[in-house]
Amino acid sequence: MTRTAARELAVLLSASAAPGRAEEAAETFFEPEHYQTLASEGEQFADYPDERQMDYIRRLNAEVDAHREEVDGYVRLHAHGWRPERLSRTTAAILRCALCEILYIKDVPTGAAINEAVELAKKYEGAETAAFVNGVLGAFVRGRETAAGEETEDGTADGPECH
């Protein structure tokens, strides 16, 4: 199983987990007997994650759980009129996972997090949602760069460093 496959499982787990219950949801989701029943649902469940992938899935879901309000705030800011509560659970999970990868998982390049999120959105939600996900994540990254002192189009630096 690749990190891409582990990320997909993390998104699916995040979409199914109640806020504040990521660890409990992971225990149920990855219980071997339960996981075997998922094999008929799709190829993403064909292989059981190894220890490294499981660590990544748990870490990503823990970050989503710990920073849910923060990343939902970024979605509200950059989704122009869309609140996370109005998005499908899968779309919201894709955005939350990608934002947490960008913000908190330093060994994931920003471009990879965005690309993987767009591909997951295409797979589970379609091209229109993939474009939406790309737009939200792109706006977030551009906003961070500008806030960190990158020059804007008019040549000025704008805003304090983003945390």
Q: What is the pLDDT of residues 31-79, one digit of tens each?
A: 999 999 998 888 999 999 999 999 999 999 999 999 999 999 999 999 9
**Domain boundaries in the chain?**
3-147
pLDDT digits (tens, 9 = 90+) for 123-162: 999 999 999 999 999 999 999 888 776 544 444 444 333 3
DSSP string computed for 36-79: HHHGGG-GGGSS---HHHHHHHHHHHHHHHHTHHHHHHHHHHHS
Query: Which CATH code fits 3-147?
Result: 1.10.940.10
